[in-house]
Amino acid sequence: MTEPLEYQITLYPDPLLRKPSEPVTAFDDELAAVVAAMFERMRASKGVGLAAPQVGLKRRILVLNHTGEEGDDLALVNSEILELAGPRTTYEEGCLSFPGIYGEVLRPDRCKVRYQTLAGETVEREFEGFQSRVIQHEQDHLEGVLLIDRMSPADKLRNKIAFDNLVYDYKQALAKAGR
């Protein structure tokens, strides 16, 4: 038996977070293990969603559980937002790649998504409310779009020191690793 995968959260400003993700082509045991490990990391980090780039993978995978209830786990592979609809609402969003940072983000209330299941089956489904917002946030990650890109100028200014600290810590980690 192979050891379970264990991921750490990739923090801003790691350049991987800015790269568009690549499609998944193999729907196999490895994919299932990756998704299981992503759910584990999401829960351990007290998040409601997680995209593969946030754990260092350039793959089009996102996981979410908008309620925290066991039966509400959802994994979307090769997801694509087909349509955004409904009233646009503002909600304070956080992001595991930006620990402790929150900002108001305006998003449509509903989205229609085409994705594949872990078995490779293609599904089209509509989501609304908080679940739609989580999907839109995680889908942004697959395209290299980050929370800081969606924040208002006021929220960027309010969080400037926290952003600067993340950049400083990242540069220190690179220097320590000799890169």
| Averaged pLDDT, 49-66 | 98
126 assigned to active site = no
Q: Find the distance separating the first CA and the last CA of the chain, reported in whole Å.
A: 35
Q: What is the pLDDT of residue 104?
A: 96
> Distance of alpha carbon 80 from its chain centroid, rounded?
14
Strand, coil or helix: what is 43? helix
Residue 160, in any domain of the structure: yes
Structural domain span for residue 137: 15-176
The answer to whether residue 149 is domain-embedded is yes
Indicate if the pLDDT at residue 70 is higher than 90.
no
In a domain, 10, yes or no: no
- CB–CB of 147/106 below 8 Å? no
Q: Which of 83, 93, 121, 138 is catalytic?
A: 138
Instruction: Tell which residue, 147, 136, 149, 119, has the closest CA to residue 62.
Output: 136
Number of domains in the chain: 1
| Residue 29 belongs to domain with CATH number | 3.90.45.10
Count the Cβ atoms, other than its own, within 10 Å of residue 5.
Answer: 15
Asked if the structure places residue 50 within a domain, the reply is yes
9 located within any domain: no
The answer to whether residue 171 is domain-embedded is: yes
Per-residue model confidence as pLDDT tens digits over 111-127: 999 999 999 999 999 99
Q: For residue 7, tell me if it sits in a domain.
A: no
Residue 43 in domain: yes
Contact 107/88 with Cβ under 8 angstroms?
A: yes
Q: How confident is the model at residue 3 (pLDDT cuts 50, 70, 90)?
A: low
* Mean pLDDT across 19-33: 98
